[in-house]
Structure 1
Amino acid sequence: MTEVKFSARAFCKMILHAVKYPHCAINGVLLAKSHATTSKEIEFVDAVPLFHICLNLTPMAEIALMQIDEFASSRGLVIAGYYAANENLRDNTFEKAFNKAGEKIAANCSPAYMVVLNNTQFSSAPSLSILKVAQIVEGNFRQIDEQNISLNPAKTTLESLKTLLQEKAYNDLIDFDNHLDDISLDWMNVELNKKVEESL
């Protein structure tokens, strides 16, 4: 069975993206070390928030994916996953959240992973059950059992997220929609990454 790990940075940024735009569907990509994408184990070390306005593959999404791919490869990383949260609380299926951007990622990386943020699990006491993870195999979704999903570091990541939520750190998160509105805004979220590390 595949083991999937999320670094504190990847986990917190996905949740903060969804919390910043609770009224919108959101999406983003997940980065893993390029040598660590076997079918048996993967660790996502970072998340890059994409959009909260239009999630479908558009020229802007193409540009975003090209920039992220260049950024990732310069750091020995690869785009190996796609995450999304729907605006409808009841839409937590992989099929509803998966779109053209996810298809493109799956076409370029095998195996690729799909993460759906389970909207019904958002609370002031977050837990790992907020994530639904599937491996994308030939266009089909093979859900990963929750017992095979973990956080790194396991003990402090949830406490870190709780602190970041209390501090309203989601206001500092920049996705590509924000960057396209004002290119001086940093989609790499260097400052937010520092806050996550400090909160640990």
Structure 2
Amino acid sequence: MINSEDALKRVQDGAAPEDWHVHYAKKDFFVEQAFICFLLLFVLIAFLVWYILNPHMIVMRGFLLDWLPGPLRTFIIANFSGFLHFSNTQLWRILDYLSAAIVGGFLLLVGLDGIENAKKPHAQLLLIRPDGLILKQEENKTTVIDYKALSDLIISEYKDDKVKLALINKEDGEEKTLALDKRFGDPRKLARDILKAYQDQQAGEARR
């Protein structure tokens, strides 16, 4: 059983063994995240200014109908146009403003979160050990993986910016997913390191 509190304290005190590999979050990852969010927020605000200057413009109604399959769209327009008030421009513009407020609020929160994380990148870390790993991404969110508790570990998604690992529990066969992004470095290399550590641990268990 991996004691995450003890392991993290040893890392913090600089007393981690040589075969523990600590990967701290990169400040640039959070700066980029905040920049993209605020850039999109600026674009959204500019769009809203243009939208206000065009009082007959409606976005949500067209967006909703355009995403529906042709036959379904025709059926809804023919039978529910009165119920959905397709002709009520003012109602649909209110929905547009509400949608913009939700998207804008989300972008603002994620952007501010990026700024806060950029101030303390070392608060998040990935610790790869010979017997398992510890992933700390938030102050109260720590994921602990003990290789002995797994029957298999598979790379289920392999992309430049994100890798997903499928973890199969040995006792009940339950599958969990561990996602790695670029905050700790190249996620593909990290996934290979984790997979190798798991395979080495399994080989060691088999020799005993």
Q: TM-score, normalised by structure 2?
A: 0.18
The structure in which a higher percent of residues are helix is: 2
Give the TM-score taking structure 1 as reference length.
Answer: 0.19
Flag the structure with larger Rg. Answer: 2
